[in-house]
Structure 1
Amino acid sequence: MKNSFIAVLVLLILSGCNDSKDDSSLKINVFNDAQIKNSMIKALEWQEAHPIFAIHPTDWTNGAYYTGVARAHKTTKNMMYMAALKNQAVHNDWKPFKRLHHADDIAISYSYLYVAINEKRRGFADLEPTKNFLDAHLYEDNSWKAGTNRSKEDKTILWWWCDALFMAPPVINLYAKHTEQPKYLDAMHEYYMETYNRLYDKDERLFARDMRFVWNGSKVDRKEPNDKKVFWSRGNGWVIGGLALLLDDMPEDYEHREFYVNLYKEMAGRILEIQPSDGLWRTSLLSPESYDHGEVSGSGFHTFALAWGINNGLLDKKHIPAVKKAWKAMAACQHDDGRVGWVQNIGAFPEPASKDSYQNFGTGAFLLAGSEILKLQ
């Protein structure tokens, strides 16, 4: 993959995250279209040259990364993104990962569907593995659906953790649109509502990551040192980023669309309220002092979703300065070689990051954000 990319001229960009004191770096216009596009391509090139995944090339980490690549191509039409998408799809034989009743393992199919929709050659894309996975995932019985898979996370529904709302619903929605089969969208809504009813905190307008973090009166397994509820930045980024993807492809006349619009607006308003002054959200949304530094993966998904909302008329343009502040801070977290730093490692709750910590899903979040920042007026 690395050898297949042509060389591009690069501009100097900010390095580090909130630790660059060089006055010359402050003169760079990170909102110039050419600068944004260049930053995105550098991120792509670095990630393609340094592949990383948690379990397998088709796992959720690459699913999130290549969703960002797909959206970057949708906005820029730069064929370097499409080359990366096609190469990984062919290499993976167009297959999702193997756990048929786990939302994480279908996330990679968003990129397959995007290629299929945009590829003019008949027969190039093979969506049969995606169809087989979705049919099993949505319509076959399993222990989660039966409510018998008990554990301390209370895994008694199909999508028992909030991250799942990014991994599966946008894929199902896009598949329903591409194949003109609304039954898949109806099934998606059924399982989405199970997760919403269990994990969404209507008072805080945020999602608990899973049942370990849901308060039941005064009793909760986990809380922050300041006695606030635990709301993980990336976990909520998964949800609101997934909502933007959902609404982008969901039919305007879908009977349940208003639910998703209202949920998006509620979450977007809360995310904006708690944005730190430097632009980047902390890993713990209600206890920013726990790890008092910006984190890029959660912030990237928030920035993508908020910019998307402004670009599509769901958020007022008065929020543009907040979104631009977030992108400026994210740009400062990209290293000169293209690597995106300050990404919290794989986890399920707030933990620290560092200048040199990276993950492919962090690159995906960066590309998602850039894809909408480019359209921000």
Structure 2
Amino acid sequence: MIIGTCLILLNVNISVAQQEFDRKNIENAMVKAVEWQEQHPIFGSEPTDWTNGAYYTGVARAHKATDNMVFIAALKTMGYRNEWKTPSRYYHADDMAISYPYLYIHNNQLRKDLVNLEPTSTFINKHLFEDSDWKQGKGDKEFKTILWWWCDALFMAPPVIVEYSNLKNDRKYLDAMHKYYKQTYHLLYDKQEHLFSRDTRFLLRAKETDLKEENGKKIFWSRGNGWVLGGLALILESMPKDYKHRDFYVTLFKEMSFRVKELQGEDGLWCTSLLSPESYKHGEVSGSGFFTFALAWGINNGILEKDQFENTVLKAWKGLVTAQDSSGKVGWVQDVGYDPKPASKDSWQNFGTGAFILAGSEILKLRLP
């Protein structure tokens, strides 16, 4: 009787696992998330801001993985609404993020000359090659000492620049990107922890203004590191294999991936404060979504060993789907910020939805039994 019961439980578990990782179920979860998000825009946010840039980057990747017309329809509607414009803070990396979906639509257009890339071209060239106070270390705050002074910037701008460099077949854009990326790396990357501080306030250099956790450990924000690792996956996918600095990005991707793997919670998700899970004892979806996307991408592209990372990724996806309710809304997303804060089942943001569908876009590609 006991053996029979065990066999029944095993069959039930296999059935549940098959449902969770059935391609159609994963795609349906992504579609429901986008349909819900399209009906619930963030009140007061600019349609070209970084939150929409991150969200529609997820939508672009979802379309690339599935060819589902729901996703391309959402992308085209967004582009027409925005008139393909960018914000005008040419010095600010966040404002480049909206150009990732523009470039995706351009490269996968169904009609010639659909996308007007002039605003994107203007932004990228001004951002990289025109002088600004931040490039000279004259930012308006002490910690704004370089162009990309916050780690989030490594998701917002570099993947766009790599795509644009490929479009123009001109590696001067890659070289400029690498220059500014290395500045951020040298400023914010902790070579012992293999994680990025969000900005210089979190470096713990024995200054009164430095911030730390109550347990005395450094503050490493989950979403901040998710921005970096997810951005690295996007960079590496499009960066030419023979680019002279590619090995730097591969090495960084691997280092961070192994560290992130060590910090995964029992529920499959990552807490908002990576070295202080006791601060907020729940998983958070935006950082976890970006981590899941990146780790799954690493497996799918042969950079991470499947036998070392597959269980981590599958466990993470199980955790992510529990954050989506029957309406399609994705909860447990920390609000806009720059350091660890709590979330709840009712807290949502469009970039959290973007992280969720980014993760799904790579989970779909895993070769599962």
TM-score band, normalised by shorter chain = over 0.9
Which stretch of structure 1 is more off in the superposition, 39-48 or 114-123? 114-123
For 2:17 and 2:232, the matched residues in 1 are separated by 35
List per-residue Cα deviations over 1:82-125 (Å, max 9, x = no partner). 11111111110101112110001010000000000001422111
Deviations 1:234-283 (A, max 9, x none): 00000000000000000000000000000000000000011112210000
Identify the residue that residue 362 of structure 1 maps to in structure 2. Answer: 352
Residue 177 of structure 1 corresponds to: 166
Single out whichever of 112-121 and 285-294 deviates more from structure 2.
112-121
Amino acid at match of 1:82: I
Relative CO higher for 1 or 2, CA cutoff 8 Å, sep ≥ 6? 1
Q: How many angstroms does 1:27 deviate by?
A: 7.4
Confirm or deny that 1:201 pairs with 2:190: yes
Instruction: Tell me whether 136-145 or 52-61 shows the greater mean CA deviation.
Output: 52-61
Distance 1:351 1:43, change over 3 A: same
Match of 2:100 among 92, 110, 114: 110
| CA distance, structure 2, for counterparts of residue 144 and residue 54 of structure 1 | 27
**Equivalent residue for 1:167?**
156
- Percent of pairs identical after alignment? 62
Q: Is the 8 A contact 1:53 1:62 kept in 2?
A: no
Distance 1:150 1:45 in 2: 40
Task: Please give the per-residue CA displacement for 1:168-195, whole angstroms capped at 9, x wherever unaligned.
Answer: 0000000111121211111100000000
Aligned equivalent of 1:228: 217
> Superposition pairs for residues 271-286 of structure 1, below 5 Å?
271-286=260-275
Please report how far the alpha carbon of residue 28 of structure 1 lies from its aligned counterpart in structure 2 after TM superposition. Answer: 7.5
Q: Does 1:333 align with 2:314?
A: no
How does 1:29-44 map onto structure 2 within 5 Å?
A: 29-44=19-34
Q: CA deviation at 1:54?
A: 5.9
1:64 is aligned to 54
State the alpha-carbon separation in 2 of the partners of residues 167 and 54 from structure 1: 20
Structure-2 residue corresponding to 1:55: 45
1:125 aligns with 2:125: no
Instruction: Give the gaps of 5 or more residues in structure 2.
Output: 1-12
Report the Cα offset of residue 206 of structure 1. Answer: 0.1
Q: Hey, what's the Cα distance between the residues in 2 that align with 1:120 and 1:55?
A: 29
Select which of 290, 295, 301 maps to 1:306: 295
For the residues of structure 1 that align with 2:44 and 2:145, how far apart are their CA atoms?
25
Q: Which residue of 2 aligns with 1:135?
A: 125
Q: In the alignment, residue 84 of structure 1 is paired with which amino acid?
A: A
User: Residues 169 and 53 of structure 1: is their aligned pair in 2 closer, same or farther, counting only changes over 3 Å?
Assistant: farther
CA distance in 2, matches of 1:146, 1:57: 30
Is residue 2:115 matched to residue 1:146? no
| 2:253 corresponds to which of 259, 264, 277 | 264
Change (3 A) 1:220 1:230: farther
Deviation at 1:145, TM superposition (A): 0.5
- SS of 2:339's equivalent in the other structure is coil
In structure 2, C-alpha distance between the alignment counterparts of 1:315 and 1:53, rounded to whole Å: 39
In the TM superposition, residue 150 of structure 1 has moved relative to its aligned partner by 4.6
Q: What per-residue deviation string (whole Å, max 9, x for no partner) do you get for residues 137-179 of structure 1?
A: 0011111011112514x10100000000000000000011112
Label 1:367 to 1:350 Cα distance change in 2 as closer, same or farther (>3 A).
same
Q: Is the 8 A contact 1:53 1:61 kept in 2?
A: no
Q: Which runs of 5+ in 1 are unaligned?
A: 1-22
TM-score normalized by structure 2?
A: 0.93
- Kindly provide the amino acid, as one letter, of the partner of residue 91 in structure 1: R
Distance in 2, matches of 1:38 and 1:191, equals 39
What letter corresponds to residue 166 of structure 1 in structure 2?
Answer: F
| Structure-1 separation of matches of 2:277 and 2:215 | 10
Measured against aligned partners, the alpha-carbon deviations of 1:295-325 in whole angstroms (never above 9, x if no partner) come to 0000000000000000001111121011100
Whichever residue aligns with residue 263 of structure 1, its letter is L
Residue 281 of structure 2 corresponds to residue 292 of structure 1: yes
Q: CA deviation at 1:48?
A: 0.4
Aligned-pair distance for 1:215? 2.1
5 Å matches for 1:314-329?
314-318=303-307, 319-329=309-319
Shift of 1:55: 3.4
Counterpart residue identity of residue 196, structure 1: Y
Whether the aligned pair in 2 keeps the contact of 1:110 and 1:170 (CA below 8 Å) is: yes
- Picking from 173, 178, 200, the partner of 1:211 is 200
SS of residue in 1 equivalent to 2:296: helix
Letter in 1 for 2:135: K
